[in-house]
């Protein structure tokens, strides 16, 4: 009897290890003493079942494994006859019965009941019962599964009735006989205002308009000169000209590219569990900025995000389209997920989630574990998309992501112009060296092991390359070198050969007697670091003197794994003479050519992977596969039956084609709503990332559809949409005097406090970037250089010291904020405190919070304090300003784009006097700094009106 | 006229009624303080769902993973089967090659009146044994530091979610408007870093405020300060500036609620700047109190200071304080980056670590109790996982243990939990939890419950659905509640 417990404690894999046998009977016996005697009368199997098994099943298992609850229990039912279906019970063999495995609690994947292990004597009863044949008097029942697919199809059909999935309507603007209406937008807006008994507020004054237009389009305030120019421009199209000027500025892309980067959840490091730097993510950022400046059509833009690696390089584009797929690559990943199945499932989930929110305004990822609770997205649709992304490679292995070469226009042109010249030269060189080497096969040779170097800082490895093989290699990132003193019997010319292995190129150079004789050298890639990859390589012909010659090999930062060196003497009268001189000149030519071709960028990207449809993962669990689903798109968002995706392509290209169809109900609507949001501070649908049932409803559905159609008609041009919106009276509205001052229902504040009808311009706080850039601009410090990566983060070791350096870097940088790296686990606190977008998730609407820590930031951040002190210096050192009155006017123009009122001027001058009095000795610089600091911290500097 | 959008508090209430996300929320945050500047600032005290057992939380984080079978969960079978192969199915996912069963180098003895077993690593802690509620059945976390730390503090190792302290700050608010409601003392920037005390999509005011620069290793607490607070500011001059701001704003006769709230926030910041230095000044504590925490002597000075700060902050109404034992052991000649992470040198490393925290934690609990604070303060002691009952890193003196996630020990004290009890159990070898499983969701649900919050009702609407700390899981462990 007692041996029945041994397998319980051994588990069913115990005996495969061949370890010294030992027994845990001791423990088992202790526990089992009582159960022995109780079992005496239960010899027959059914009796055992009734007495010892059934009560346990009822008490511990039925909660999840009976007729009504089996869905929770993975469809395993224990309230019917237990059979060998799925090896639940293998009659007579407890070790093979999964029910017993689960009860034993020795397998991390299968432990039941979940609340804890049952007493050992109970487990022993089950084992005994199985051993005895698992007699179970209960009937076997089989409920036919309900076909779930039909209900899903029905709900999709019903789901299409929801407004967001309806075709974009052709909406004509209401005919209103009203002078205020200057554009179709105005007609849609005025219709609703008039219906509510309201009139729009009057147009904003010119100073307000240029400040608003400047911040909205380029993220910077206008200079005092720009303000005066615009105020004095009496041409009828002055505002349209202003808009055009701003749209043409490179600063435009830096502003609107950043909006799009919010949606792209851009980050320069992984964030998540382990925040490895993404040293090449910044190319994607610059690419996005460039796309906006070039007004790349939106359909092209998202096609490149989804499938840029499969598209041709457009003649007028700056970046190869593969850069666009950075969108799929830069998401936050859990890098140390060791469970490969879960890793891929989670990765794909992040991509689907980002894609859905960013481009469809849909929370598709909800359908990973169950049919979407609110939107008509069945789990099958999720896995149809998952099949596309699973057929795409993003991570090469644990912790390593795909990077691919990508040309810019300039490197592409050079590569195309010159690149074709290289292969024939290289072929010829190869021929030559082979020929020379073959001709020298009988030559006198000197061969030595690389590890016999005389001087050097390289490492010698004799342990990892097989018996008798020793190599030298780099000792880490450094200027690696090894010197060899080689004695040759007679002077003459010698071919140098190196035998080495290199999985990636680690070029270095060869020096002879202190002079560089071959650069680059050791350039080849051999396929492997190990002996299998070792080859002899030609490294030039060198003239040596009799006696000791010193060769020096250099390579930095790393070095190939070098095994041996060999010198082959060239006979002075050799017919090879000509070949050798040709080799030298050919090597020089190739070198020069290679130097004039700039290598392409390395960018984060995706590539086609192993193409396969995906299985549904039951409840999202990466280890529980359900049915296979054909790859495809969201069924609710199109009406035609889908064609099957090809078996040799992931389907991303087809996904891109589907997304950019002019009649797609979501693509254009979602984007014009985003654009509207960034112009007005609030979307027509106030949840720009969610157009589903739980999202907000459109306040102006006809307007939204009108804009969506215009967008497509104008070739998806974003700049055209800016003009359409900004030239409307709606956008140029000012604020309403006296609103909110009465309780009357007439007062719009009382029935439309959120201003959803657009009865005035809404106040809104500037984004963190605009505040920082404005601080730099008004203190004459903004560095407007574009592009590049201002910081290369090399380590994930974020020590207090590194973080402190980084903080100082942020505080001292004068570049526009969009160029500051977004370290997901350590975003510049000036930005996060001012509601920077969460870089882990697409963000179309930044929420504005008002908390004391922001005030503390404005009071104490070096950035604000420096700006104040510099503005004070600029004002005080201006000889044309002769009085505090004049200085105040200049300060207000610089900071607020307007002049102070006489009251404001008086208050400010009183402050200067009080502050002076409070100081120990008079110090105008200090009191003016304090004044400027207060004005910069004040509401008017950071709020748009 | 500059600002032409007057909006009264009534307007603001209209906005609230309409429920316009963050704006309304923050208007609410500010609304109590308008016109009543001394009563309340940033956060109003929230409302628990039912009578709370605890008001505050102090989380003692033992980074790296403490070995449960060497500290609080004795397994005599390990002595018996030392060096034998373990009787378990191979884990699907494991961190490193697993060795054989390894007995504990330390002897256990019963402590306190309750007889809680503790190993000889603990020389002082037995004095407060009867306050401790040992939970031996924590399980179901991630096998790597990053995922496990995020799961411990946010409940998720899948994506970035609000942290436990942020949820509590959101649920209960603060009782001291002049200090942040969630303070993290010298946190580590490793393994999720700010994600572990971040607010994610909750309003930013609920995020943990680090005291000192988060780093690796983190800053010594003796020099730690709150960022952007300037304790040496000249109060008279700053007052003049804030008055100027108010006067210029009044000139606009602008009644926009958001703009007014922003003006008010400067007033609050001004007061916080005055209050914080006093809270952080340990020199006002008596010599004997400092000694109780091991301050002034090694190896306990740094952790002792952290614990004493935690008491001072809790005393002042800070809702959630995290204390971190999270540094490197390299200076001790032990190759450990994460404090308790003894893949090797188990004996030496755990001894060094225990010696640093044993006295400070004991003194901290004694001090809380003496001041009547223990009843209302829930103290949680936990690492991100336990360590395997099997060995790693060869043999001899440098032998260690790997990460272990299937059953490990944490403890709680005060704040309405039963003292001197053991809850849950692992099997004979300390491997799998076999009784009263406590997943991290269960732990979170229980912590919220002790604070009077129903974890199924503490929600935040984001990205089209209601999020919870416990996602769709979590059971309150009622058996540990006194």
CATH of the domain at B400: 3.40.720
Look up the ipTM and state it.
0.73
Kindly give, in sequence order, each residue whose CB lies less than 8 Å from that of residue A839, ignoring residues fewer than 6 positions away: A265, A266, A267, A271, A332, A822, A824, A827
DSSP string, A124-183: HHHHHHHHTT----SPP--PPPP-HHHHHHHHHHHHTTSGGGSPPP-PPPP----TT--S
Task: Give the H or E element holding residue A501.
Answer: strand A492-501
In chain B, what is the straight-line distance between the N-terminal and C-terminal CA atoms, in Å? 63
Number of domains in chain B: 1
Whether B344 is in a domain gets the answer yes
User: B36 or B390: whose pLDDT is higher?
Assistant: B390
Structure tokens at A591: 């070198």
Q: How confident is the model at residue A38 (pLDDT cuts 50, 70, 90)?
A: very low
Average pLDDT, chain B: 83
Please state, as a whole number, how many other Cβ atoms lie within 10 Å of the Cβ of residue B184: 28
Kindly give, in sequence order, each residue whose CB lies less than 8 Å from that of residue A495, ignoring residues fewer than 6 positions away: A436, A437, A440, A538, A540, A541, A542, A567, A568, A570
Residue B43's pLDDT is what?
47
In this model, does residue A141 exceed pLDDT 80?
Answer: no
- Bridge partners (DSSP) of residue A603 are A404
Whether B392 is in a domain gets the answer yes
pLDDT per residue as tens digits for the range A369-392: 877 877 888 899 999 999 999 999
DSSP string, B412-453: EESTTBPSSEEE-EE-TTS-SEEES-EEHHHHHHHHHHHTT-
Residue B132's pLDDT is what?
97
Q: Which of B341, B333, B334, B331 is nearest to B302 (CA)?
A: B331
pLDDT per residue as tens digits for the range A506-547: 889 999 999 999 888 998 888 778 888 888 888 988 999 999
Task: Give the H or E element holding residue A495.
Answer: strand A492-501
Q: How far is CA A756 from CA A284, A729, B318, in A?
A: 35, 16, 39
Q: How confident is the model at residue A564 (pLDDT cuts 50, 70, 90)?
A: very high
Residue A557: cis peptide before it, omega within 30 degrees of 0: yes
Task: Give the H or E element holding residue A858.
Answer: helix A852-860
Q: How confident is the model at residue A14 (pLDDT cuts 50, 70, 90)?
A: very low
A–B interface: beta-carbon pairs under 8 A: 327
Which range in A270-284, A470-484, B48-62 is most confidently predicted, on average pLDDT? B48-62
Structure tokens at B118: 């503790």
- Most distant CA pair in chain A, distance: 113
Question: What's the rounded mean pLDDT across residues A851-855?
Answer: 80
Residue B414's pLDDT is what?
95
* Interface contact flag, A904 B89, Cβ < 8 Å: no
Task: Give the H or E element holding residue B459.
Answer: strand B459-462
Q: How confident is the model at residue A187 (pLDDT cuts 50, 70, 90)?
A: very high
Mutation target for B interface from A377, A733, A855, A900: give the one with most B CBs within 10 A.
A855
Q: Which of B431, B299, B302, B388 is nearest to B65 (CA)?
A: B388
Whether B241 is in a domain gets the answer no
Residue A140's pLDDT is what?
72
Whether B252 is in a domain gets the answer no
**Burial bucket for residue A567 (CB in 10 Å: 0-12, 13-18, 19+):** buried
Structure tokens at A219: 């993220």
**SS3 of residue A329 by DSSP:** helix
Chain B residues inside the 8 Å CB shell of A849: 22, 26, 203-205
Residue A744's pLDDT is what?
65
Q: Are A459 and A475 in contact (CB under 8 A)?
A: yes
Q: Print the domain residue range for B213.
A: 10-228+277-480
Chain B residues inside the 8 Å CB shell of A944: none
Chain B residues inside the 8 Å CB shell of A107: 88-89
Residue A39's pLDDT is what?
41
User: In this complex, which of B237, B268, B432 lies closest to A852 when CB atoms are compared?
Assistant: B268
Q: How confident is the model at residue A590 (pLDDT cuts 50, 70, 90)?
A: confident
DSSP letter assigned to residue A49: I
Q: How confident is the model at residue A3 (pLDDT cuts 50, 70, 90)?
A: very low
Least confident of A256-265, A529-538, B67-76: A529-538
User: In this complex, which of A107, A833, A856 lies closest to B89 when CB atoms are compared?
Assistant: A107
Residue B96's pLDDT is what?
58
Nearest C-alpha of chain A: how many angstroms from B348? 25
In chain A, what is the straight-line distance between the N-terminal and C-terminal CA atoms, in Å? 86
Query: How far, in Å, CA of A900 to CA of B70, rounded?
Result: 72
Q: Are A803 and B213 in contact (CB under 8 A)?
A: yes
Query: How far, in Å, CA of A876 to CA of A878, rounded?
Result: 6
Chain A residues inside the 8 Å CB shell of B4: 734-737, 739, 760, 945
DSSP string, A551-602: EEEEESS---EEEEEEEEEEPTT-TTHHHHHHHHHHHHHHHHHHHHSPPPEE
**SS3 of residue A439 by DSSP:** helix
Q: How confident is the model at residue B15 (pLDDT cuts 50, 70, 90)?
A: very low
Please state, as a whole number, how many other Cβ atoms lie within 10 Å of the Cβ of residue A447: 11
Residue A499's pLDDT is what?
93
CA A862 to chain centre: 30
Whether B414 is in a domain gets the answer yes
User: B30 or A306: whose pLDDT is higher?
Assistant: A306
User: In this complex, which of A108, A274, A739 lies closest to B5 when CB atoms are compared?
Assistant: A739
Beta strands in A196-353 (DSSP E): none
Q: Are strands B421-423 and B132-139 parallel, antiparallel or unpaired?
A: parallel
- Bridge partners (DSSP) of residue A492 are A544
Structure tokens at A507: 């070029």
Nearest C-alpha of chain B: how many angstroms from A93? 18
Q: Are strands A480-488 and A471-473 parallel, antiparallel or unpaired?
A: unpaired
Residue of B nearest to A17 (CA): B85
Query: How far, in Å, CA of A111 to CA of B434, rounded?
Result: 9
Residue A143's pLDDT is what?
44
User: In this complex, which of B90, B252, B436 lies closest to A13 when CB atoms are compared?
Assistant: B90
Question: What's the rounded mean pLDDT across residues B425-445?
Answer: 94
User: A297 or A423: whose pLDDT is higher?
Assistant: A297
In this model, does residue A16 exceed pLDDT 60?
Answer: no
Q: How confident is the model at residue B21 (pLDDT cuts 50, 70, 90)?
A: very low
Query: How far, in Å, CA of A447 to CA of A327, rounded?
Result: 53
In this model, does residue B365 exceed pLDDT 50?
Answer: yes
Q: Which of A529, A527, A557 is nearest to A464 (CA)?
A: A529
Structure tokens at A902: 């006489």
Residue B373's pLDDT is what?
96
Q: Are B173 and B45 in contact (CB under 8 A)?
A: yes
In this model, does residue A271 exceed pLDDT 70?
Answer: yes
Kindly give, in sequence order, each residue whose CB lies less than 8 Å from that of residue A59, ignoring residues fewer than 6 positions away: none
- Most distant CA pair in chain B, distance: 86
Question: What's the rounded mean pLDDT across residues A104-127?
Answer: 85
Residue A61: cis peptide before it, omega within 30 degrees of 0: no
Q: Are B334 and B348 in contact (CB under 8 A)?
A: yes
Task: Give the H or E element holding residue B368.
Answer: helix B346-370
Whether B21 is in a domain gets the answer yes
Task: Give the H or E element holding residue B136.
Answer: strand B132-139
* Radius of gyration (C-alpha) of chain A in whole angstroms: 37
Query: How far, in Å, CA of A545 to CA of A512, rounded?
Result: 11
pLDDT per residue as tens digits for the range B110-169: 999 999 999 999 999 999 999 999 999 999 888 888 889 999 999 998 777 899 999 999
CA B6 to chain centre: 43
- Please identify which residue in the block is written with the tokens 């908390």: A851
Chain A residues inside the 8 Å CB shell of B204: 832-833, 835, 849, 851, 853
How many residues are listed for chain B in this entry? 482
* Interface contact flag, B205 A851, Cβ < 8 Å: yes
Residue A603's pLDDT is what?
94
Query: How far, in Å, CA of A648 to CA of A29, rounded?
Result: 61
Whether B4 is in a domain gets the answer no
Query: How far, in Å, CA of A565 to CA of A559, rounded?
Result: 15
Structure tokens at A23: 């027994």
Whether B359 is in a domain gets the answer yes
In this model, does residue A168 exceed pLDDT 90?
Answer: yes
Q: Are B151 and B142 in contact (CB under 8 A)?
A: yes
In this model, does residue B38 exceed pLDDT 70?
Answer: no
User: A926 or A69: whose pLDDT is higher?
Assistant: A926
Mutation target for A interface from B159, B162, B233: give the one with most A CBs within 10 A.
B159
CA within 13 Å, CB half, A74: 13
Task: Give the H or E element holding residue A455.
Answer: strand A455-456
Q: Are strands B465-468 and B459-462 parallel, antiparallel or unpaired?
A: antiparallel
Question: What's the rounded mean pLDDT across residues A890-895?
Answer: 97
User: In this complex, which of B205, B244, B268 lies closest to A855 when CB atoms are compared?
Assistant: B268
Structure tokens at A247: 């749209």
pLDDT per residue as tens digits for the range B241-275: 999 999 998 888 666 767 877 887 788 788 878 88
């Amino acid at each position: 009897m007692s041996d029945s417990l041994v397998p319980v404690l051994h588990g069913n894999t115990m005996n495969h290890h061949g370890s010294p046998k030992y027994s845990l009977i001791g423990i088992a016996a202790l526990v089992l003493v009582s159960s022995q005697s109780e079992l005496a009368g239960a010899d027959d199997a059914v009796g055992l079942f009734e007495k010892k098994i059934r009560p346990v099943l009822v008490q511990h298992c039925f909660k999840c494994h009976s007729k009504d609850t089996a869905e929770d229990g993975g469809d395993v039912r224990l309230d019917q006859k237990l059979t060998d279906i799925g090896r639940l019970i293998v009659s007579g063999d407890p070790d093979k019965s999964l029910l017993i495995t689960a009860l034993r609690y020795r397998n991390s994947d299968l432990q039941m009941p979940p609340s804890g292990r049952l007493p050992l004597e109970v487990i022993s009863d089950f084992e005994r019962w199985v051993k005895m044949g698992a007699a179970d008097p209960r009937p076997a029942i089989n409920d036919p599964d309900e076909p779930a697919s039909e209900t899903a199809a029905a709900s999709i059909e019903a789901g299409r009735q929801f407004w967001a999935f309806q075709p974009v309507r052709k909406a004509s603007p209401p005919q209103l006989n009203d002078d205020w209406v200057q554009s179709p937008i105005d007609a849609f807006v005025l219709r609703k205002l008039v219906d509510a008994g309201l009139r729009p507020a009057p147009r904003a004054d010119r100073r307000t308009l240029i400040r608003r237009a400047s911040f909205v389009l380029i993220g910077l305030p206008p200079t005092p000169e720009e303000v005066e120019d615009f105020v004095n421009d009496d041409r009828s199209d002055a505002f349209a000209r202003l808009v055009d000027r701003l749209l043409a500025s490179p600063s435009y892309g830096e502003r609107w590219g950043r909006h799009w980067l919010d949606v792209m959840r851009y980050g320069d490091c992984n964030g998540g569990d382990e925040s490895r730097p993404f040293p090449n993510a910044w190319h994607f950022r610059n690419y996005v900025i460039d796309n906006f400046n070039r007004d790349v059509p939106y359909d092209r833009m998202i096609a490149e995000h989804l499938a840029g690696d499969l598209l041709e390089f457009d003649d007028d584009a700056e970046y190869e389209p593969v850069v666009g797929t950075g969108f799929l690559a830069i998401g936050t990943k859990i890098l140390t997920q060791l469970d490969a199945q879960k890793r891929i499932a989670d990765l794909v989930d992040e991509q689907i989630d980002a894609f859905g929110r960013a481009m469809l305004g849909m929370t598709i990822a909800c359908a990973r574990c169950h049919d979407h609770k609110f939107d008509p997205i069945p789990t099958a649709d999720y896995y149809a998309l998952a099949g596309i992304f699973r057929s795409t490679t993003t991570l090469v292995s644990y912790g390593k992501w795909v990077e691919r070469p990508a040309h810019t226009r300039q490197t592409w042109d050079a590569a195309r112009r010159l690149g074709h010249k290289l292969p024939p030269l290289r072929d010829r060189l190869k021929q030559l060296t082979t020929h020379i080497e073959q001709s020298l096969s009988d030559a006198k040779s000197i061969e030595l092991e690389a590890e016999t170097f005389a001087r050097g800082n390289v490492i010698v490895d004799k342990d990892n390359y097989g018996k008798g093989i020793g190599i030298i290699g780099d000792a880490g990132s450094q200027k690696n070198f090894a010197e060899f003193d080689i004695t040759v019997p007679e002077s003459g010319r010698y071919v140098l050969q190196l035998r080495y292995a290199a999985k990636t190129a680690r070029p270095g150079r060869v020096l002879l007697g202190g002079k560089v004789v071959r650069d680059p050298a050791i350039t080849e890639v051999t396929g492997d670091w190990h002996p299998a990859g070792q080859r002899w390589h030609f490294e030039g012909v060198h003239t040596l003197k009799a006696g000791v010659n010193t060769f020096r090999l250099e390579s930095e930062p790393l070095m190939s794994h070098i095994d041996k060196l060999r010198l082959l003497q060239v006979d002075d009268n050799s017919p090879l003479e000509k070949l050798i001189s040709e080799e030298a000149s050919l090597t020089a030519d190739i070198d020069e050519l290679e130097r004039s071709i700039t290598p392409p960028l390395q960018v984060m990207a995706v590539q086609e992977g192993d193409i396969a449809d995906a299985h549904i993962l039951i409840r999202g669990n990466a280890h529980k596969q359900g049915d296979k689903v054909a790859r495809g798109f969201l069924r609710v968002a199109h009406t035609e039956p889908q064609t099957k995706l090809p078996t040799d392509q992931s389907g991303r290209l087809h996904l891109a084609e589907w997304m950019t169809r002019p009649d797609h109900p979501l693509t254009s609507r979602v984007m014009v709503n985003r654009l509207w949001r960034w112009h007005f501070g609030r979307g027509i649908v106030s949840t720009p990332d969610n157009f589903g049932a739980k999202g907000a409803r459109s306040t102006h559905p006809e307007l939204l559809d009108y804009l969506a159609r215009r967008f497509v008609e104008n070739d998806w041009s974003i700049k055209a949409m800016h003009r359409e919106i900004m030239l409307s009276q709606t956008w140029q509205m000012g604020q309403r005097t006296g609103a909110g001052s009465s309780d009357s229902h007439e007062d719009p504040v009382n029935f439309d406090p959120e201003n959803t009808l657009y009865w005035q311009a809404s106040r809104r706080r500037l984004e963190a970037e605009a505040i920082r850039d404005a601080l730099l601009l008004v203190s004459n410090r903004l560095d407007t250089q574009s592009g590049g990566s201002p910081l290369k983060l090399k380590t994930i070791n974020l020590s207090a010291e590194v973080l402190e350096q980084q903080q100082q870097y942020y505080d001292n940088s004068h570049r526009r904020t969009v160029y500051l790296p977004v370290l997901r686990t350590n975003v510049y606190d000036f930005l996060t405190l001012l509601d920077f977008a969460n870089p882990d998730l697409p963000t179309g609407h930044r929420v504005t919070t008002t908390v004391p820590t922001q005030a503390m930031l404005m009071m104490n951040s070096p950035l604000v304090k420096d700006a104040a002190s510099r503005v004070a210096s600029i004002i005080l050192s201006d000889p044309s300003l002769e009085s505090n009155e004049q200085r105040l006017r200049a300060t207000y123009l610089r900071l607020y784009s307007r002049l102070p009122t006489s009251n404001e001027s008086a208050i400010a001058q009183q402050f200067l006097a009080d502050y002076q009095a409070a100081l120990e000795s008079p110090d105008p610089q200090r009191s003016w700094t304090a004044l400027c600091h207060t004005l910069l911290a004040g509401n008017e500097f950071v709020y748009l009106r | 006229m500059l600002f032409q959008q007057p909006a009264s508090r009534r307007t603001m209430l209209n906005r609230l009624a309409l429920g316009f996300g963050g704006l309304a929320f923050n208007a609410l945050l500010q609304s109590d303080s308008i016109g009543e500047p001394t009563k309340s600032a940033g956060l109003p005290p929230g409302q628990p769902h039912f009578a709370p057992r605890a008001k505050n939380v102090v989380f003692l984080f033992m980074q790296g993973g403490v070995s449960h079978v060497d500290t609080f969960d004795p397994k005599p079978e390990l002595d018996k089967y030392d060096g034998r192969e373990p009787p378990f199915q191979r884990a699907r996912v494991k961190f490193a090659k697993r060795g054989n069963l390894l007995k504990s180098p330390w002897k256990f003895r019963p402590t306190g009146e309750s007889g809680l077993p503790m190993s000889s690593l603990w020389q002082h802690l037995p004095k407060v044994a009867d306050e401790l509620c040992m939970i031996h059945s924590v399980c179901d976390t991630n096998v790597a530091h990053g995922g496990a730390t995020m799961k411990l503090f946010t409940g998720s190792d899948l994506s970035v979610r609000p942290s436990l302290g942020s949820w509590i700050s959101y649920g209960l608010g603060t009782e001291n408007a002049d200090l942040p409601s969630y303070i993290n003392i010298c946190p580590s920037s490793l393994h999720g870093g700010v994600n572990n005390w971040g607010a994610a999509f909750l309003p930013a005011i609920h995020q943990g405020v680090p005291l000192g620069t988060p780093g690796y290793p983190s800053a010594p607490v003796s020099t730690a300060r709150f960022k952007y607070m300037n304790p040496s500011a000249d109060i008279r001059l700053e007052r003049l500036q804030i008055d100027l701001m108010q006067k210029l704003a009044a000139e606009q006769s602008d009644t926009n609620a958001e703009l007014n709230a922003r003006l008010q926030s400067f007033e609050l910041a001004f007061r916080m700047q005055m209050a914080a230095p006093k809270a952080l000044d340990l020199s006002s504590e008596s010599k004997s109190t400092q000694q109780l925490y091991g301050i002034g002597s090694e190896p306990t000075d740094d952790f002792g200071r952290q614990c004493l700060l935690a008491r001072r902050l809790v005393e002042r109404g800070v809702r959630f304080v995290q204390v971190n034992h999270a540094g490197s052991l390299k200076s001790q000649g032990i190759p450990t980056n994460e404090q308790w992470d003894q893949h090797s040198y188990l004996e030496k490393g755990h001894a060094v670590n225990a010696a640093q925290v044993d006295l400070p934690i004991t003194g901290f609990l004694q001090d809380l109790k003496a001041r009547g604070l223990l009843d209302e303060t829930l103290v949680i002691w936990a690492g991100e996982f336990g360590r395997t009952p099997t060995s790693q890193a060869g043999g001899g003196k440098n032998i260690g243990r790997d990460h272990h996630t299937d059953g490990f020990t944490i403890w709680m004290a005060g704040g309405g939990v039963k003292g001197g009890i053991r809850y849950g159990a692992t099997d004979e070898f300390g491997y799998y939890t076999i009784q009263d499983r406590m997943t991290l969701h269960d732990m979170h649900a229980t912590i919220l419950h002790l604070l009077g919050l129903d974890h199924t009702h503490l929600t935040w609407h984001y990205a089209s659905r209601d999020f919870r700390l416990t996602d769709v899981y979590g059971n309150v462990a009622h058996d540990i509640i006194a």
